[in-house]
Structure 1
Amino acid sequence: MPNARAAFEACLKGLHSDNIEELQRSIQRSRSLRDLWHLRTWLYTEVARAYSQAEAELRLNRLNAHFQFGASFGFNGQTQVALAKSRSGEH
């Protein structure tokens, strides 16, 4: 868990807002890799808003090593993009 949390924190580099502070608190409160898995969409959304979709995908790819079980959830890159868009209100 500490390595996964550190990887999440690294993905937040350069981001500053109330949303980011709340995301950081959620990362620190997480109790399992599954908890962190569910925060990936939020992370993706914040990075995409601040930088670009390409940057968000690049940063999330760095997290993949911590989530070998992710494939069993059925989340692939396209699903991640769709979830982030729905969260941000895009269609």
Structure 2
Amino acid sequence: MPTGQRIEVRPPSLCHAPDSAWQRLMFWLLAPAPQDAAPPLNRLPAVRDDFVTALADVDSFDGRVLSDRVAMARSLRELWHLRADVYRLVAISHNQAVADERLAELSRHFPTRAPRSGFVPL
């Protein structure tokens, strides 16, 4: 689906979305930009599993080291920073097209920003 415009994938916020209704209310009242909050921490294991799956057929020492780093990641933000390493190792082990597909699959877990219009204010 190449459109010529790149979707920017941003790191999750350091402030996590609340789990309970009371926490959501307080977050809404006190946070300056609640829509930018990172997903709740309970999503971390599923995202971590997707990263491990992306590396499952990368049979190298670097692949095992990166899988260990993924397993030890304590936040979605840490995983976001590991995306480039996953991409690099998958591209080396397979090819760039496979790496692009796997990165797109991982990127769905993180906030995105629409492409910029290209118009510059005067």
Normalising by the smaller structure, the TM-score range is 0.7 to 0.9
Instruction: Tell me the distance in 2 between the aligned counterparts of 1:57 and 1:51.
Output: 11
Partner of 1:35: 78
Runs of 4+ that moved beyond 4 A = none
Instruction: Tell me the distance in 1 between the aligned counterparts of 2:109 and 2:46.
Output: 8
Which is richer in helix?
A: 1
The aligned amino acid for 2:62 is: N
1:14-29 paired onto structure 2 within 5 Å: 14-29=57-72
Q: Alignment partner for residue 45 of structure 1, among 60, 69, 88?
A: 88
Larger Rg: 2
1:13 Cα deviation from its structure 2 partner: 2.4
Partner of 1:4: 47
The aligned amino acid for 2:60 is: S
1:42 Cα deviation from its structure 2 partner: 0.4
**What secondary structure sits across from 2:58 in the alignment?**
coil
The aligned amino acid for 1:5 is: R
1:65 Cα deviation from its structure 2 partner: 2.0
Kindly tell me the number of residue pairs found equivalent between the two proteins.
Answer: 71
TM-score (norm 2): 0.55
Instruction: Tell me the distance in 1 between the aligned counterparts of 2:102 and 2:73.
Output: 19
Instruction: Tell me the distance in 1 between the aligned counterparts of 2:91 and 2:107.
Output: 17
Q: Higher relative contact order at CA 8 Å, sep ≥6: structure 1 or structure 2?
A: 2
Alignment RMSD:
1.5
Q: 5+ residue gaps in structure 1?
A: 72-91
**What secondary structure sits across from 1:66 in the alignment?**
coil
